[in-house]
């Protein structure tokens, strides 16, 4: 059996890990090849056509443009009611996902996309480290790097980060906010400018994902911050989301303060098991432990988890 699988872009760190997790989980069940949609919907449409022409029993994609979901669904229907599983980018128009009995999605938990957990880490740090309030004004001088504005998770991550911090009674003084497009180099450019403008006035940098947190880190390190972790003479706590393997050593050294694990491995396993179930006429979540299908979204959601220095092993084991 073939699982036709694709990610929206191989330049996206987190999506590449889900791709690997899908490949690993397919072992002995499906033949697969993770296509790179190159962030271009027409490229991805062609890839799905080819998967179906080659006789894929099921299709699993992180779609380039969420508004193209109906087109991909139609292709799968036309190919003989082939199941399609969307992952990573939530199809928030539930009418679309409900328009086809063989369409499902696998994502992470909750409409806050992990940002409340990220905010809680900032709150804990603020409470445990009075020196975080560098200017002693009782407010948190924050800079925020947002994901791609066209992406379902970007704005909610930004909003929930701030509202959770404020609900905990910490006032935010937002020095700067802009999109880093999920991308390390773009985030570095923005942070370079903010560090040169605000320098040590910045009390915290939060990024919508780890790729951008890594960009922020190279910007602050170039300006002499964070190089000795929390012992650095100038320090800006930085937080990301995903808990990618490439950030874990930076959390260990204290150069980055925390991240939120988005469990690519479990997502990959869930996608493949679901594909197997759907191709053999079973219930979508048959044999998948501890998860439920959220009916109206037809979604299985894998939980996010906070990652700091104290529980790095959890994130490490996810990527073994």
Binding site for ligand GAL (CB under 6 A): 12, 14-15, 88-89, 151, 153, 182, 209, 211, 241-242, 262
The phi, psi pair for 291, rounded to 5°, reads -125, 160
Residue 76 interface partner, choices Ca ion, ligand GAL, none, CB cut-off 5-8 Å depending on type: none
Q: How far is the CB of 319 from ligand GAL (least distance, A)?
A: 14
Sheet architecture: strand order including 31-36: 31-36, 2-7, 58-61, 84-87, 103-108, 299-302
Residue 89 interface partner, choices ligand GAL, Ca ion, none, CB cut-off 5-8 Å depending on type: ligand GAL
Contacts of 152 (CB under 8 A, 6+ apart): 66, 89, 90, 92, 113
Looking up tokens 């909610």, which residue turns up? 156
Question: Interface with Ca ion includes 137 (CB under 5 A)?
Answer: yes
Asked if residue 262 lies in contact with residue 18, where contact means CB atoms within 8 angstroms, the answer is no
For the window 140-179, what string marks contact with Ca ion as x by the rule CB under 5 A? Answer: -x--------------------------------------
Considering the complex, state which of residue 67 and residue 135 has its C-beta at the smaller distance from Ca ion.
135
- How many residues does the structure list for the chain? 320
Considering the complex, state which of residue 151 and residue 298 has its C-beta at the smaller distance from ligand GAL.
151
Going 144 to 150 to 154 to 159, the CA torsion angle's sign is positive
Nearest to 85, CA basis, from 56, 55, 114? 56
Residue 137 interface partner, choices ligand GAL, Ca ion, none, CB cut-off 5-8 Å depending on type: Ca ion
Considering the complex, state which of residue 14 and residue 30 has its C-beta at the smaller distance from ligand GAL.
14
By CB under 5 A, name the binding residues for Ca ion: 133, 135, 137, 139, 141
């Amino acid at each position: 059996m073939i699982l036709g699988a694709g990610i929206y872009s191989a330049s996206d760190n987190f999506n590449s890990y889900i791709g690997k997790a899908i490949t690993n989980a397919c072992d002995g069940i499906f033949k697969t090849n993770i296509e790179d949609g190159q962030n271009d919907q027409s490229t991805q449409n062609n890839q799905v056509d080819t998967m179906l022409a080659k006789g894929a029993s099921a299709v699993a994609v992180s779609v380039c443009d969420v508004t193209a979901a109906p087109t991909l669904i139609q292709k799968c229907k036309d190919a003989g009611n082939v199941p399609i599983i969307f992952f990573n980018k939530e199809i928030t128009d539930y009418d679309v996902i409900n328009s086809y009995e063989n369409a499902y999605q696998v994502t992470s938990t909750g409409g806050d996309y992990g940002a409340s957990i990220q905010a809680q880490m900032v709150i804990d740090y603020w409470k445990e480290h009075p020196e975080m309030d560098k200017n002693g004004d009782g407010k948190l001088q924050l800079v925020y790097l947002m994901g791609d504005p066209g992406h379902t998770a970007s704005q909610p991550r930004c909003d929930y980060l701030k509202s959770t911090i404020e609900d905990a009674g910490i006032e935010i003084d937002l020095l700067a906010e802009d999109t880093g497009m999920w991308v390390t180099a773009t985030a570095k450019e923005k942070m370079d400018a903010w560090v040169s403008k605000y320098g040590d006035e910045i009390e915290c940098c939060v990024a919508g994902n780890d790729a951008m947190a890594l960009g922020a880190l190279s910007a602050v390190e170039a300006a002499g911050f964070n190089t000795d972790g929390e012992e650095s003479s100038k320090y800006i706590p930085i937080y990301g989301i995903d808990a990618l393997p490439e950030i874990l050593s930076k959390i260990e050294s204290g150069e980055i303060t925390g991240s939120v694990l988005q469990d690519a491995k479990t997502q990959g396993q869930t996608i493949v098991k679901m594909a197997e179930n759907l191709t053999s006429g079973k219930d979508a979540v048959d044999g998948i432990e501890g998860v439920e299908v959220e009916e109206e979204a037809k979604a299985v959601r894998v939980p996010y988890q906070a990652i700091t220095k104290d529980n790095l092993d959890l994130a490490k084991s996810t990527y073994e």
